[in-house]
Structure 1
Amino acid sequence: MEEPQEVSSRKDGRAGDIVVEKFLVDSMKPASHVQLACSGQSCAFPLDGNELCIWDTEEPPHQLMILKGHRQPITAVTFGSRESPLLVCSASLDCVLVWSLDECRQEELQGRLPRGTVLGTLLGRVLCLRLSPDDRVVAVCAGSRVLMLDLEVWDHRMGSLIYSSSVLTAAPLLSLLVDPRSQQLVAGCTDGQLWIFSLVEGHHYRCVTHVDLRKKRESFSTRRAESKPGTWPEGGQPPSTKAPETGEETEVALPVLSLAACGCAFLSETARCLWIGSSTGLLIFNLSSFELEAVLHYKDFQSLSIQVAGSCAVASRTGGGEALCLLTSMFGNETALVEADPAALLRSQQRPHPGPDLSVLPSSCVLPTSPLYLGLKEKRTKQATQKQSETEILAVVSL
């Protein structure tokens, strides 16, 4: 196994930290706009262009496995749905490969070079990969085509098309997620729009709502600044959409790079939340209220090496709790793994709840030494003078 050019590990995180950078890899080639893979146990990303790097989150960060088989730069990576055996599929211009990580580790321990299984060759530039729930079929998005590649001998043509739509949104789709509990399909676009469709039988896949994440983020920041000022992490300030020199409002897009389930039991037992990974930060979105619960900006944490991400993959750890976020730099060659604590993030951005009103009945008159006593005396004097004037007016009128 060859080690990467430079791998730095950081273990200075403490319990209760909102975000901690676990490790940073410096590659020879950038991996921006590449589909990354992140699960609760492993992460997969391109290294030096055509090498596939696997990092087991349960092992020490310096133990990385490098898989070689692509001649062209890797453009998309995805994990299988089953934990055992855990499969990873990678694609480049020359071929699409599937790897069994257990077999690769065994081959590596015996001193042999791990090899993947070729599923297809010269399919074009693959933008997205996804394995079926049973890990028997790979859906490959290459250009304007979606190809179905068999991992076994299985006739997928016997399946039937459930629903087809020529146009879901005006902007290109970047990420999709199906929430089985709420039976909703969530689609994220390049322009920062979130579209949510109902999969409930009889709803005919209608659009439940359409969310502009930029506007949601602005309203969330405004509410937080008004209710709890001065609590931004590391002395940061609420994000501004004004240009530094002209002061004019600028449009800040939030491309939805990834979507993942977020276990927010500490928020509400019935709340269904999502992690939304974007180029500038992470967002926690509530599928029940269609509102943002928390916003994490990379630039607010100086300890993070990547401030603007070109690619992002998010997954909650096994058993819930912290989430792992794999980032590649938009303008550099770095790849970083970040661990975020949603509970700590939500606590830092909670809006204070107003307490119950308290009413107290006075038990005695105002003391003469009290500042209120003069006001009371003046008020009584004015009332007496007013009554006297009214009496005099009535007397004149009666005459």
Structure 2
Amino acid sequence: MMIEKMRLKSDRALSLQQLACCGSHCCMPVHGKDLMVYDHLDRQKEPLLLTGHHRDVSAMTFGHGNILLLCSASADYIVVWDIELCKQKVQQGKVADGIIIGKLLGEVVHLSFCYADERVAVCSGATIYILSSKQQQVILTLTGYLGALTSAEFCPWDPDILVSTSEDRMFRVWDLQNEDVLYQSFVLSAFPLSTALFLEDRHLITGSVDGQMWCFSLNDCYQCHLVMTMDLQMMEKRHQRTVNQQGGVNQTESDEVVSKPVLRMASWSQIPDLSADKKSWFCIGSSDGLYVVDVATSELQTVLYFKDHPDLSVSRAGSWVISLRHDKMFFLVSSLFSPIVALLELRVCDDLGRMWTSAEGLSVFPSSPPLLQSPLNAELKKKESNLPKKKGGIKEQPLVFNSKVKSSGYSSAPRKVLFSPKTNVQKNPPTKKSPKKFDLIHKDYPADSAAPTVLCVDRHITDKKVSCLQYSG
């Protein structure tokens, strides 16, 4: 069950903007140019106000290290903030400031730290800038896309590998050390929005705006091999059908087509106290809720819809930020149509654990015995063995020699009439054979013929529906 911990209101819609959230803090822009950092573990503390941008802030992200770093970007500056150092300066009555690592790089749509927090990937237009997080330095520039970039993520196990996605419906795997493209994907069905990299299995999953997901395996040469494709809408229909069958509910499927973009993905492999069979699970933030998918089976495990939680401030999401802290997951979700941002909390092992336990241990006992005409009362007739009976063979007898042997016709007189034909035989009319109605059943259906479409026999057996058929041929 998702709990809303904070409800933040902005002066403008933030549905298409990258926000920032980690296990202890969350950040959003205020008044366009300023940043407000909230400590959601201790909500009694005053939020930290960061100023310094001269243009509207368009993207922000937190680092991964013990020293909490925040990177924010606008059309004029790319700034890295040390949160604890900024808090100390504010307590001393000073103005909190950061380190400018880039200037005039254009409209930035996405930022990401490497896992050592030494470099920052900046997506602006169709260009990726790799910047140093400690000083103003452009380490390298990556170009070659035909459309605007949507994301760029560093590889968890190799800091020199970067995966980027673009609106030209392709993603690329970059070798930052040699400034070369290791892999370029085929053209996807829609442009990808998010990418998740799994550390244990070395899997790369990318999700697009039309709800399609592609799972690739990465070898040592970082050549991607397609493992499976997943459709979020089709998985939802299969999951709903399974839930209805378990609950005994006959619900017709709706033909309504609803867009389910893959806005954000995150792996569960780093959650402690999680069983081994759930290490391959990952969550997907879409416009109508949170989806939990098992990569091993490519099946949907559970869905947490916004409509099932009427106390939430967000009914349709425009952007997601997912972060982990021990056994908790925090989601910073912006509303699609209103200037509202909500911080949601989910206890994975407690809340979802109850749902999995109740689903796995569900047993249904009948309240009454089955009807007499129920197919459950039918007994299978035992087939009699058609083995041929053993015929009596020649038994072993003692050998006897006779002194006289009777001839077989040599001593009798020869026959005078050998053959006498019958000339007055009346021919009987041929008997008509009754047509076999079920002769087609005993023959193999020809392989070169099309599937049968014409109804031959229609028998009315009972007023109730037939639940079981058995062929006795």
Query: Could you state the TM-score of these two structures normalised by the residue count of structure 2?
Result: 0.63
Counterpart of 1:38 in structure 2: which amino acid? C
Give the Cα separation in 2 of the matches to 1:122 and 1:265: 46
Give the Cα separation in 1 of the matches to 2:263 and 2:44: 25
Q: Does 2:320 correspond to 1:312?
A: yes
Q: Which residue of 1 aligns with 2:329?
A: 323
Counterpart of 2:43 in structure 1: which amino acid? P
Give the Cα separation in 2 of the matches to 1:61 and 1:128: 31
Q: Which residue of 2 aligns with 1:136?
A: 118
Q: Does 2:229 correspond to 1:206?
A: no
Q: Radius of gyration: which is bigger?
A: 2
What's the CA shift for 1:162?
6.0
What's the CA shift for 1:229?
5.6
Give the Cα separation in 2 of the matches to 1:356 and 1:224: 14
What's the CA shift for 1:55?
1.6
Give the Cα separation in 1 of the matches to 2:232 and 2:363: 31
2:69 to 66, 80, 87: 87
Give the Cα separation in 1 of the matches to 2:335 and 2:210: 19
What's the CA shift for 1:228?
2.7
Instruction: List per-residue Cα deviations over 1:340-389 (Å, max 9, x = no partner).
Output: 233423533654557699xxxxxxxxxxxxxx9xxxxxxxxxxxxxxxxx
Q: Which residue of 2 aligns with 1:340?
A: 346
Q: Does 2:18 correspond to 1:35?
A: yes
Q: Which residue of 2 aligns with 1:56?
A: 39
Distance 1:356 1:305, change over 3 A: closer
Counterpart of 1:257 in structure 2: which amino acid? L
Q: Does 2:234 correspond to 1:228?
A: no
Paired residue total:
326
Give the Cα separation in 1 of the matches to 2:28 and 2:295: 29
Distance 1:92 1:61, change over 3 A: farther
> Do the aligned residues in 1 keep the contact of 2:15 with 2:334 (CA within 8 Å)?
yes
Distance 1:207 1:174, change over 3 A: same
> Do the aligned residues in 2 keep the contact of 1:224 with 1:351 (CA within 8 Å)?
no
> Do the aligned residues in 2 keep the contact of 1:55 with 1:61 (CA within 8 Å)?
no
Counterpart of 1:347 in structure 2: which amino acid? R
Q: Which residue of 2 aligns with 1:9?
A: none
Distance 1:241 1:281, change over 3 A: farther
Helix, strand or coil at the partner of 2:184: coil
2:297 to 252, 267, 289: 289
> Do the aligned residues in 1 keep the contact of 2:101 with 2:134 (CA within 8 Å)?
no
> Do the aligned residues in 2 keep the contact of 1:31 with 1:49 (CA within 8 Å)?
no
Query: Could you state the TM-score of these two structures normalised by the residue count of structure 1?
Result: 0.74
Q: Which has the higher helix share?
A: 1
Give the Cα separation in 2 of the matches to 1:260 and 1:189: 15
Instruction: List per-residue Cα deviations over 1:55-107 (Å, max 9, x = no partner).
Output: 22321256321212223322211111212x11111112232211111111111
Q: Which residue of 1 aligns with 2:130?
A: 148
> Do the aligned residues in 1 keep the contact of 2:314 with 2:342 (CA within 8 Å)?
yes
Counterpart of 1:34 in structure 2: which amino acid? Q
List aligned pairs for 1:69-88, cutoff 5 A: 69-83=52-66, 85-88=67-70
> Do the aligned residues in 2 keep the contact of 1:23 with 1:61 (CA within 8 Å)?
no
Helix, strand or coil at the partner of 1:164: strand
Give the Cα separation in 2 of the matches to 1:47 and 1:71: 13
Counterpart of 2:355 in structure 1: which amino acid? S
Give the Cα separation in 1 of the matches to 2:132 and 2:240: 47
> Do the aligned residues in 1 keep the contact of 2:130 with 2:138 (CA within 8 Å)?
no
Distance 1:33 1:96, change over 3 A: same
Q: Which residue of 2 aligns with 1:117?
A: 99
Helix, strand or coil at the partner of 1:214: helix
Give the Cα separation in 2 of the matches to 1:101 and 1:341: 26
> Do the aligned residues in 1 keep the contact of 2:129 with 2:138 (CA within 8 Å)?
no
Give the Cα separation in 1 of the matches to 2:83 and 2:186: 37
Q: Does 2:212 correspond to 1:189?
A: no
What's the CA shift for 1:137?
1.3
> Do the aligned residues in 2 keep the contact of 1:173 with 1:189 (CA within 8 Å)?
yes
Give the Cα separation in 1 of the matches to 2:36 and 2:231: 35
Q: Which residue of 2 aligns with 1:13?
A: none
Give the Cα separation in 2 of the matches to 1:168 and 1:78: 29
Relative contact order higher in (CA < 8 Å, ≥ 6 apart): 1
Structure 1 residues not aligned, in runs of 5+? 1-17, 231-236, 243-248, 358-371, 373-399
Structure 2 residues not aligned, in runs of 5+? 141-175, 366-370, 372-473
Q: Which residue of 1 aligns with 2:469?
A: none
Taking only aligned residues, the RMSD between alpha carbons, in angstroms, comes to: 2.9
Q: Which residue of 2 aligns with 1:3?
A: none
Helix, strand or coil at the partner of 2:89: helix
> Do the aligned residues in 1 keep the contact of 2:280 with 2:294 (CA within 8 Å)?
yes
Q: Does 2:279 correspond to 1:271?
A: yes
Give the Cα separation in 2 of the matches to 1:181 and 1:169: 26
Give the Cα separation in 2 of the matches to 1:307 and 1:74: 25
Farther off after superposition, 160-169 or 99-108: 160-169
> Do the aligned residues in 2 keep the contact of 1:296 with 1:345 (CA within 8 Å)?
no
2:235 to 203, 207, 216: 216
Helix, strand or coil at the partner of 1:252: coil
What's the CA shift for 1:264?
7.8
Q: Does 2:251 correspond to 1:256?
A: no
Q: Which residue of 2 aligns with 1:390?
A: none
Give the Cα separation in 2 of the matches to 1:291 and 1:329: 27
What's the CA shift for 1:215?
0.9
Counterpart of 2:354 in structure 1: which amino acid? R
What's the CA shift for 1:166?
5.8
What's the CA shift for 1:185?
1.1
Give the Cα separation in 2 of the matches to 1:104 and 1:129: 21
> Do the aligned residues in 2 keep the contact of 1:51 with 1:67 (CA within 8 Å)?
yes
Give the Cα separation in 1 of the matches to 2:133 and 2:188: 31
